[in-house]
Chains A and B, each alone.
Chain A
């Protein structure tokens, strides 16, 4: 707020805690208005003004129609099932492997020295470049996709968990020791719960990266999955269908990130009281 006041005027400094609270529904309403304006402009540009060729760029109505067809024909359900299975297997295994690696890396100094640099460098790497090699190794289909999703989930989860485990309050660990906790109990009852918010943060970071892995795998080397709808529909100039499939991915990604945001907020609270 202070940034807006001109220097000539007296400084307006609110005492802390008295900042003007915006109306509760302001943000969702503006977002909704955004969406309506966006769709309206899109419709007018394509249908009324005919700024683009509708074969190449569908109108919102075309996309909705294609989505309805994809749903009613059962095509979407089939592809979505394939995508969901690949993603869940890869993401689940990746999360589990990431938590274990992260806990070890964060709490054992030698594992930290050995693994952290490798994990960091893999995090910087475009893992999807492995896709063609994975396809050569595992054949077309779900195999390379699951591996890509696994890798792109495991690395951020491991890095975040390691950060959390390394920052575990030493006094909590000492207290547990005093009460007779063994090594395993310290892991399970102190380090793991302490790292939970970090794990969730890593899972959240892994949503976009795992989605990229899933999509690239499906677009480049798979006959099924929502990503393959995008490629096949585009090749047949059915852009409405491609947009509908992209829309499905957009909704999925946004919902997943939101869910994990919510979980992060829930899980993080207790640490402030510890």
Chain B
């Protein structure tokens, strides 16, 4: 059933692209240099692969993304654990955390460039800032939502605090931690792109910006679609991890 659904989606996307191609190349509904058809986008894509510009810029973005995101997980999960398991920590550190979570952190990007220059540092930092709060907040929710009877059962069998934490709470909270990581991936993608839009000279976001400014919209759309594919593959991988780690957990909007 699930395979069938996947095929249906693939067919649907293929149909959309076919219609798009037909509307531009066949019926000439719009200027193809203004609204490039899928065939032109594909040519632009392979062209960028062949001349090495795509691999080079993609490598820059990937390095920053991995660094920023790993940092966000390493910092976000323990912060969430602390916020979720201690009343004191959540009372004192909670309000600033929620404020930071609700605020558009992307607004700091021009200042980050001013402080850290035009290199990789402000990009890594904005990716970190975008991803860390959803990870921490979801981890906190996860720890708070652990069924107290599970904790009590572990205590009855003589588990200490640390054991309860490592063997019960962490596992029970895992699906929400992974939900946070999934949200973090989506936000990190925004961070990658904006970081390179503002004060960048390398990376996929910069390349999109550059090519659009040159009115090479086929290349710009090829790169945008590439980001769509990357984002969906990454999110699907995290969802898969969640399904394996917590098959009982129902999927929601996250």
Contact = CB atoms under 8 A, between A and B. Distances in A.
Whether A associates with B in a native complex is yes
Interface in B60-107: 85, 91-92, 95-96, 99, 102-104, 106-107
A253 interface: yes
A137 B114 contact: no
For the side of the interface on B, what is the size category? 35 or more
Which one of A125, A129, A130, A211 has the highest number of Cβ atoms from chain B below 10 Å of its Cβ?
A129
B155 interface: yes
B173 interface: no
Contact of A129 (B104, B148, B208): B208
Interface string A204-231: 0101100110011001100000010011
A125 B148 contact: no
B91 A26 contact: yes
A30 B220 contact: no
B50 interface: no
A131 B211 CA distance: 12
Interface in B119-158: 148, 151-152, 155-156, 158
B41 to A, nearest CB: 11
B189 A132 contact: no
Contacts of B235: 124
Nearest to A207: B102
B253 A205 contact: yes
B92 A156 contact: no
B231 A242 contact: no
Interface stretch (B21-29, B51-59, B192-200, B241-249): B192-200
Interface stretch (A72-80, A88-96, A113-121, A174-182): A113-121
A45 to B, nearest CB: 15
Contact of A126 (B161, B186, B253): B186
Contacts of B17: none
For the residues of B in contact with A, the DSSP-based class is: helix
A51 B193 CA distance: 31
B212 interface: yes
Contact of A219 (B95, B148, B198, B209): B198
A169 interface: no
A30 B253 contact: no
Contacts of A26: 91
A274 interface: no
A78 to B, nearest CB: 19
B107 A227 contact: yes
A202 B252 CA distance: 12
A136 B194 CA distance: 17
Contacts of B174: none
Contacts of A114: 12
Contact of A242 (B110, B232, B253): B110
A171 B181 CA distance: 37
Contacts of A249: 103-104, 107
Contact of A34 (B95, B104, B223): B95
Interface string B151-192: 110011011110010000100000000000000001001101
A159 B186 CA distance: 16
Contacts of A5: 155
A128 B91 contact: no
Contacts of A11: 152, 155-156
Nearest to B95: A31
Nearest to B10: A117
B107 A246 contact: yes
A216 B197 contact: yes
B2 to A, nearest CB: 12
Interface of A: 2-3, 5-7, 11, 13, 26-27, 30-31, 34-35, 38, 56-57, 113-114, 117-118, 121, 123-126, 128-133, 135-137, 156, 159-160, 163, 201-202, 205, 207-208, 211-212, 215-216, 219-220, 227, 230-231, 234-235, 237, 239, 242-243, 245-246, 249-250, 253-254, 257
14 contacts: A6-B160, A7-B160, A34-B96, A113-B5, A124-B235, A128-B197, A129-B223, A132-B212, A160-B253, A211-B104, A219-B109, A227-B107, A250-B99, A253-B102
Interface of B: 5, 8-9, 12, 34-35, 85, 91-92, 95-96, 99, 102-104, 106-111, 113-115, 148, 151-152, 155-156, 158-161, 164, 169, 186, 189-190, 192-194, 197-198, 205, 208-209, 211-213, 215, 217, 220-221, 223-224, 227-228, 231-232, 235, 252-253
Given A126-B189, A132-B211, A230-B107, 18 more contacts: A3-B161, A30-B95, A57-B115, A123-B186, A125-B231, A126-B186, A129-B227, A132-B197, A136-B215, A137-B34, A205-B253, A208-B102, A211-B104, A230-B111, A234-B114, A237-B114, A242-B111, A246-B108
5 closest A-B pairs by beta carbon, nearest first, are A132-B212, A31-B95, A234-B110, A126-B189, A250-B103
